[in-house]
Amino acid sequence: MHVSPLSWIALTCAVVAAVIMIYYLIYRPPLNGRVKLLMMVAVGVLPIMTAMIGNLEGLQATEHQAFCGSCHTMDMHIADANDPDSLSLAAIHSRTIKFGDKSCYVCHKDYGMFGYAMTKLGGMGHVYMFLSEYAWYDMEEALPKIHIARPFKNDNCMQCHSTTGRLWNDVADHNGLLEDLRTGTTSCASAGCHGYAHPFSKPDEETPSDAEAHSALPAPSPEGT
């Protein structure tokens, strides 16, 4: 558990507010001007500060794997992403510093002007689906039923892999499918290309073998992609 300095400020505000409120509840001083001023701080100012910092910290928390993995139906996705021996796209990307602990969010978030808000709206949809259906399934029941709400956009891959680098374009399949990849007609994360990001969640016939996945994945290169 990591508690940031901001969280400590929020906690301090909450504790001070709680102490004042408990004092009032125990001693019930008459509500004169001074007590009302004190209570305005305890009921208004300090809780608002706690809430604002809580919002900030809460929204940041939603970007971490621990948040995504707090639904039991995501256990296998998180385990695979953090498996040092896994060759899935999710695991390969999670091992890089740009993704790391935020790999779920970096790959699945919506980019663009309203990306953050749209991502949060999508997250609310996930909460609804979890509460209305998946919460009651164990992992074996849930796994075949879990599917991505919308097809994964190549735009998300292209945030890093610009499709303009020389090394990237030297790959014959990339060059031949350039327009399809840029328009999203052909998915980067499909069985015939780089394989699914979470292959364990797909039926066997749709999942490329390790050898196929290896051959489709060029050696990681920090530049020219």
Q: Report if residue 157 touches other proteins, rule: CB under 8 A.
A: no
Out of 79, 117, 127, 171, the residue judged to bind other proteins by CB under 8 A = 127
Tell me how far CA of residue 89 lies from CA of 18, 95, 152, 213, 220, in angstroms.
47, 10, 13, 9, 12
Using the minimum distance from each CB to other proteins, give the nearer residue, 42 or 89: 42
Written as six digits, the tokens of 78 are: 């998180």
Q: Report if residue 67 touches other proteins, rule: CB under 8 A.
A: yes
Query: How far is residue 19's CA from residue 192's CA, in Å, rounded to a whole number?
Result: 62
* Residues 115 and 153 sit within 8 Å (Cβ to Cβ): no
Least CB distance from residue 30 to other proteins, whole Å? 8
Out of 18, 76, 146, 191, the residue judged to bind other proteins by CB under 8 A = 18
Least CB distance from residue 52 to other proteins, whole Å? 10
Using the minimum distance from each CB to other proteins, give the nearer residue, 50 or 86: 50
Alpha helices by DSSP H, listed for the chain, are 5-27, 33-40, 46-61, 65-68, 75-81, 89-94, 103-108, 115-132, 139-142, 154-157, 166-170, 172-176, 178-183, 210-216
Least CB distance from residue 44 to other proteins, whole Å? 5
Q: Report if residue 116 touches other proteins, rule: CB under 8 A.
A: no
Written as six digits, the tokens of 129 are: 């689906």
Least CB distance from residue 199 to other proteins, whole Å? 25
Annotate 17-47 with b (16+ C-beta within 10 A) or e (fewer).
Answer: beebeeebeeeeeeeeeeeeeebeebeeebb
Q: Report if residue 39 touches other proteins, rule: CB under 8 A.
A: yes
Using the minimum distance from each CB to other proteins, give the nearer residue, 18 or 177: 18
Sequence-ordered list of residues with C-beta below 8 angstroms from that of 83, at least 6 positions apart, any chain: 91
Q: Report if residue 216 touches other proteins, rule: CB under 8 A.
A: no
Q: Which stretch binds other proteins (CB under 8 A): 8-16, 101-109, 165-173, 195-203?
A: 8-16
Q: Which stretch binds other proteins (CB under 8 A): 2-10, 160-168, 196-204, 217-225?
A: 2-10
Query: How far is residue 1's CA from residue 105's CA, in Å, rounded to a whole number?
Result: 19
Q: Report if residue 44 touches other proteins, rule: CB under 8 A.
A: yes
Judged by the rule CB under 8 A, the positions of this chain that interact with other proteins are 1, 3, 7, 10-11, 14, 17-18, 21-22, 24-25, 28, 31, 36, 39-40, 42-44, 47-48, 50-51, 54-55, 57-58, 61-62, 64, 66-67, 70-71, 127
